[in-house]
Every structure is written in C-alpha cells, then in structure tokens.
Chains A and B, each alone.
Chain A
C-alpha cells in the first residue's frame, strides 16, 4: 500500500486532541490528558510500522480517547466524569467534540487559557507551544534558545497556576474579550518573532514557529466575534514577513541582509494574502500597532530594490508607531531609517537619547547602527570600533559571523 501521512499530522493532531479532551474532562486533568495523547502517538509509531490505518486521524482520536479514560480510571479518589462515562452513554457527547468545528472551538478555548493573565508572558508562550502546537520541551527550548530545564519549569508553573486558580476551559466573558484578545495576539506576535528574528541555526525550527503563529492567527480569524482590525493587521504583518523568510538566510544558513536579499524569491501568494488582510484591516476604525508594523513590512516588500525603498513613508509609520506605543526598539528603528535618509544630526540625537543597554539582548543593534552612522560619514576607524562593540555584545554565532564579515569589508576599505 502506497500511502503517506500528511506532514505535521502528529504535531497538529496533538493540539487538537489535547484541546478536545480537556474540554470534556476539564483543565484540572490536563497533565493526564497530555500523557494519554503522547502515549497514543507512541502506540501509533509501533502499530503503523506495518500498515497505516485507513483513517489515521480517526484512529488517533479513538486511541487517545480510550487511553485518557483508562488513565483517569486508574487515578484513585476522583470525581471525574470518567465515572459518568462508565455508567451512561455520554461518550457520544465526547464523540461530538471530535467534529471539525468543535475541534476549532476547543483549540480557540485553549489559546485563551494559554494567554490567561494569571500566567506570565514567558509561561504563556511555552504553554501555547506545548499544548496547542504540540512541541516537546526540547523543541520549545531549541526554538526559544532557552535551556530545557527552564522550559520545563515554565510549563510546570503554568499548569500549577491553571489548576490552583481553577481556570475554566472557556472563552472570556464579552466584556473581557478585547483585553484577552490583545494578549492572545501578543503571544501570536511573539511566537512569530521568535521564529522570524531568531538566529536559530535550525531553519526548520524557525519556519515551524512562524507557521504555527500564522495557523493560530487564521484560527482566530475564523470566528466572527474575534475579527478586528488589529487581528487582520496582525495576520497581514505575519504574511508579509513570512513571504521573505526563505531569503533571509543563504544555503549555508548565513544571514543575508535586506540590501542583498533576492527579492524575486519572496513568496508572492503570502504577499497577496497579506494585502487582502490589510485591506480588511483598514475597514475598521481603530488603528493598532499591528497596522503600522504591517504597513512598514508592506513598504519594504513594495520596493523593487533596496534603493527604491520609500524611507519617508516608513519613517512616518515608525513615528506613528512610536506615538501609539513608545518603545526603545522603535526608536532605534527610527534612527536606522533616518540614517538611510542621511539625516545625520537626527540620528545622533536619537541614539544619544537612550543607552544601548535599554535594548537588552539586542544591544548589538545599537552599536551596529552607530557603526553604520560613522561608515556613512566616512569615519571608518570609528565605524570599525563600534562594530567591535556590536560583536562583543552578541552571543549568537550566526550574528557574530555576519558582523565579523562586515568588519573585514570595512578594514579592506581603509
């Protein structure tokens, strides 16, 4: 039998099954449920070696369901619904939850649980990647460039908080939807950024993170009550960025900057999707940070070459972004754009208005900007010394190599 399993079926199905089973049995049993689902995949890897089932998803659902019930039964002194399961036919009720629209509904509930305000932001991302996206602790650690232990701790804390606070597996009440949705969008945005801006050597991990963020965003857009200008704008932003994910690194995994990226490689279908999302976003009155970020990304994509970039427009959007949500990182971006426009005085003023350390682990970008400032002004010696500072302040090997290459080019010009 020539048959193939859909890519990522296990990973995506992990999130689905955990969500459905949690909806039925309750968040208090999330650990047992996760164990049961994990067991299901192990069983599948053994049984499917010989023969793939006719309907893999149905097979997984059935086994996960039964395994959960078994595990819950084996836990003593429980008042779980599994007892109810034994007595009446409520398993039909459970079966209903495996219908497509119910699966989405359950997954959306899980997203809101993951982004519950009682969890810390770092815990939210880890929990979302584990529970909704089916990443293992090790994969999350690799994706977020963090130690496995740290991730395990965050996951543990997240689950403890959920159980201690007796969080319900439900959507937030109408008066809280806007606030909670803002948090959800932020987590989606951060997840994407981890993939997009990360300098993770493993390209697959980066793509997976971006892909997951886009998938979650799509899922949210399916529900009318969650659709908003900012959600559409966020989706547009992710599409625009994702369209050039491929050209951000070369075949050797080395960083390629915007100036040198092969623009013909940018993925057009995603750009189109971004454009239509952006049009939708503009139909709403409220303008969010995502609107401006998407507009900036769109401007970069519109330019046929780096030289043709409309820096004035981008500057305007960055300034609006800064008005809406003041942020040192945006300030740095303003300085970088002003530099492209050769407004040297302004660049200096901005860079002197804050410290490199305000950018935390991205401090090297501050020195990089200063280096380019001196390069453009023709002071290569100072340019190189700031580049040295930048190199000193990055821990990432890929970035270091990129900066060192730049340094060699500058040295050769002296």
Chain B
C-alpha cells in the first residue's frame, strides 16, 4: 500500500455564493465521503484550507496578499489516503462532491524517503 494525496482545486464556496441549503447538502456529502473512507480504514489525514492567500515571491521575498488574478482556482484542501495504486485513488475520488461546481481532484503519490 502507498500513500496518495487527493488535492481539491477550485469550487470555492465563498466565491460561488452558495445558499445555506446548498451548503448543507454539500457538507452532508463531504461528511458521508469522509465517513466512508474512515470505515474502510484508508483515510490517513487531511485538511480544509481557508481561502485567504499570502504569497512570498522572488529573491526579494516580496509578500503579497490575495486574491490573485491567476489563482482563481485555489486549493481548497486535501486528503491523504492509502491505496494500492493511483487507479484505486481515482475510484475513491469518484465521491468527491464538487465536480458539478467545476472542482478538480488532483491525485499525487506521496514520496517515501529511503531510510
């Protein structure tokens, strides 16, 4: 088994102006998905990220505050899951609730460092 990260990009609820009813239904789906992975024992961790962004760029270490024009699609959070291979994670990611809002799931394998 290997560890993979599912990185969730876009579908920022704040920006989309979702209604309380829609938010509740989204929350329910996220919760159910988390429970499902938990029950399968594959969920290793994860965080949701607050959409305010600070950037440090260049040799001068220039600090700037978002929102940035080029980052309309910001990272909203991630889950780490353990799976046989990336295809298995693709199967897990079918339950991601926000595809219909233009959200993307990016799957990346976590590197294991040699001891």
Contacts and interface: CB of A to CB of B under 8 A. Distances in A.
B64 interface: no
A90 interface: no
B21 A42 contact: no
A196 to B, nearest CB: 20
A11 interface: yes
A137 interface: yes
A414 interface: no
B17 interface: yes
Contact of A42 (B14, B28, B34): B14
Contact of A48 (B18, B20, B27): B27
Contacts of A286: none
A9 interface: yes
Contacts of A5: 24, 27-28
Given A45-B27, A46-B77, A139 B19 contact: yes
Greatest chain A CB density within 10 A among B23, B30, B34, B48 is at B23
Contacts of A48: 27, 30-31
Mostly, the A contact residues are helix
Contacts of A11: 19-21, 24
Contacts of B27: 5, 44-45, 48-49
Contacts of A333: none
Interface in B36-52: 46, 48, 50
A134 B14 contact: no
B13 A45 contact: yes
A39 B17 CA distance: 10
B31 A41 contact: no
A67 to B, nearest CB: 13
Contacts of B106: none
Greatest chain B CB density within 10 A among A13, A41, A45 is at A45
B98 to A, nearest CB: 11
A192 interface: no
Interface in B1-41: 13-14, 17-24, 26-28, 30-31, 34
Contacts of A14: 20
A41 B46 CA distance: 20
A49 B34 contact: yes
Contact of A49 (B17, B22, B24, B48): B48
Given A5-B28, A48-B27, A41 B48 contact: no
Contact of B17 (A13, A46, A138): A138
B48 to A, nearest CB: 4
Interface in A126-145: 134-139
Contacts of B34: 49-50
B19 A136 contact: yes
B23 A49 contact: no
Greatest chain A CB density within 10 A among B14, B20, B27, B48 is at B20
A47 B23 CA distance: 12
Contacts of A139: 19, 21
Given A47-B48, A137-B17, A138-B17, A42 B30 contact: no
Nearest to B49: A46
Given A5-B28, A50-B34, A52-B31, A45 B21 contact: no
Contacts of B18: 42, 136
B33 to A, nearest CB: 8
11 contacts: A11-B21, A11-B24, A14-B20, A44-B23, A44-B27, A45-B27, A46-B50, A48-B31, A52-B31, A136-B19, A136-B20
Given A11-B24, A45-B23, A48-B27, 15 more contacts: A5-B28, A10-B23, A14-B20, A38-B20, A39-B14, A42-B18, A42-B23, A45-B24, A45-B30, A49-B27, A50-B31, A135-B19, A135-B21, A138-B17, A139-B21
Interface of B: 13-14, 17-24, 26-28, 30-31, 34, 46, 48, 50, 77
Interface of A: 5, 8-11, 13-14, 38-39, 41-42, 44-50, 52, 134-139
